[in-house]
Amino acid sequence: MEVAFPLCNGSPGHFTRLEPEPPKMNPVVEPLSWMLGTWLSDPPGVGTFPTLQPFQYLEEVHISHVGQPMLNFSFNSFHPDTHKPMHRECGFIRLKPDTNKVAFISAQNTGIVEVEEGEVNGHELCISSHSVSRISFAKEPHVEQITRKFRLNSEGKLEQTVSMATTTQPMTQHLHITYKKVTP
């Protein structure tokens, strides 16, 4: 398909857009292939923290690959009644070749950017924050540490548990959610 677009100088530009076959998965990420797909919360997730009222949320997760030695992800949560957007998060999951060592790199709409590291063992991924950075005007109390556990349960559903520590609270479970796969 030929696509026309204006160049910065105003003259017309053209390129041919190819509709390629889906990329082959890079063998480096094969140990995480159980995470691939689109997942929807089933039932709604539950959030708690000492400084928050308990809450529920819906979430849609997309985990994909483009043939590179990493997975791409996006987490999009919504209020269960109003369906208004809540938390957003996107990034990459990398595996150190020939090991079970994993890095989870995430940017969040709350102004937090984090790197978590850990290990994948079978259908379980456990990671904890290696670094947490935030925008200068992030809301307090500031998140200082995060841990996550993903696992594929015996029913083929993906579970995620997130714990965090802030400047005012020790490490405490914050979120738990179960997802059903809706697309491969």
DSSP string, 155-171: TS-EEEEEEEEESSS-S
Please answer whether residues 106 and 135 qualify as being in contact, where contact means their C-beta atoms are separated by less than 8 angstroms: no
Q: What digits encode the pLDDT tens for the residues 105-115?
A: 999 999 999 99
Is there a contact between 62 and 91 (Cβ–Cβ < 8 Å)?
no
pLDDT for the residue numbered 13: 63
Residue 19 banded pLDDT, cuts 50, 70, 90: low
The better pLDDT of the pair 139, 124 is held by 124
pTM for this prediction: 0.88
Q: How far apart are the C-alpha atoms of 60 and 71, rounded to whole Å?
A: 16
For 42-67, the pLDDT digits (tens) are 999 999 999 999 999 999 999 999 99
Q: Could you tell me which of 71, 73, 102 has the C-alpha nearest to residue 88?
A: 73
pLDDT (0 to 100) of residue 39: 98
What is the bridge-based pairing of β-strands 172-183 and 45-49?
Answer: antiparallel
Q: What is the pLDDT of residues 147-162, one digit of tens each?
A: 999 999 999 999 999 9
